[in-house]
Amino acid sequence: MKHSLRFALLLILTGLTGCSSLYFPPPPHAPLLTHQGEVYGSISTNQHTNYALQGAYGLTDHLAVAGTFSSLHRKKSDRTEDIDFGEASLGYFTRLPDKRVLEVYVGGGGGSTRRIERNDEQITTRILQGSLSKVFAQVNYARKKRNNLHLFKRDFPLTYGAALRLSYMQLNNFQINGLATPGENNVFFEPITFTRTQIAGPIQLQIISGQILGFRNNKYLKAANSVFQVGIVINLDKNTTLD
């Protein structure tokens, strides 16, 4: 039993190392809706210049729709990466006692990925490209802190929480230098935490931090990137702080 656990852990850790993945995870969304008609929107980025636009809307007092578009375009000395990915989901949300919110979402997404690799002489050596598809399930839990952040003689309400996402990803129509190559698939587990500070009115500053764990030891579709985003959240409702 111990050997099996060690082997499973080795597979996960192997997925976190090595060459970069052809997939860069968009941040899990956490709208924290509480009733019908509530609108959520956010824009965020990170040190990898990965941008994400997210939105959600409360269809009823417990049913919501949400969407995400994520884009990564960066050029380094040894490679150029271009990844665009979109998601859509349907969710259930409910307000719990003591200023807590619970959300459950299921959804899917797709996009494109391309990586151009170069040698030291800046000559292209490989072009890898394909399409991405995903299905996922996610649970969000959050509550407002009892104590506010006190800065500049002002109190800034804090909201903090966590999201757990399980995804099944596929790399389809995969080509290397124009030649068809077998695709890959993987199962990813993304645990993240987030903190929001209300700045003014419906505007909040949000920080997301977490990790992505892959359960298959792939060469191209692997858990090689952590989840970290800083952004602005706008909730068009007076209950943005879960009062």
Per-residue pLDDT of the chain (243 residues; tens, 9 = 90+): 444 444 344 334 333 333 579 999 888 999 999 999 999 999 999 888 899 999 999 999 999 999 999 999 999 889 999 999 999 999 999 999 888 999 999 999 999 999 999 998 889 999 999 999 999 999 999 986 655 665 556 666 788 899 999 999 999 999 999 999 999 999 999 999 999 988 888 889 999 999 999 999 999 999 877 788 999 999 887 554 444
Q: What is the pLDDT of residue 156?
A: 66
**Domain segments of the chain: what residues?**
2-235
The helices-and-strands tally (H runs, E runs) of the chain is: 1, 14
Residues 186, 26: Cα–Cα separation, whole Å? 16
163 forms bridges with which residues in the sheet?
Answer: 140, 192
What is the secondary structure of 8-49 as a DSSP string?
HHHHHHHHTSSSPPS--PPPPP-----STT-EEEEEEE-TT-
Could you give the maximum distance between any two Cα atoms of the chain, in Å?
63
Task: Tell the CATH topology of 2-235.
Answer: Lipocalin (2.40.128)
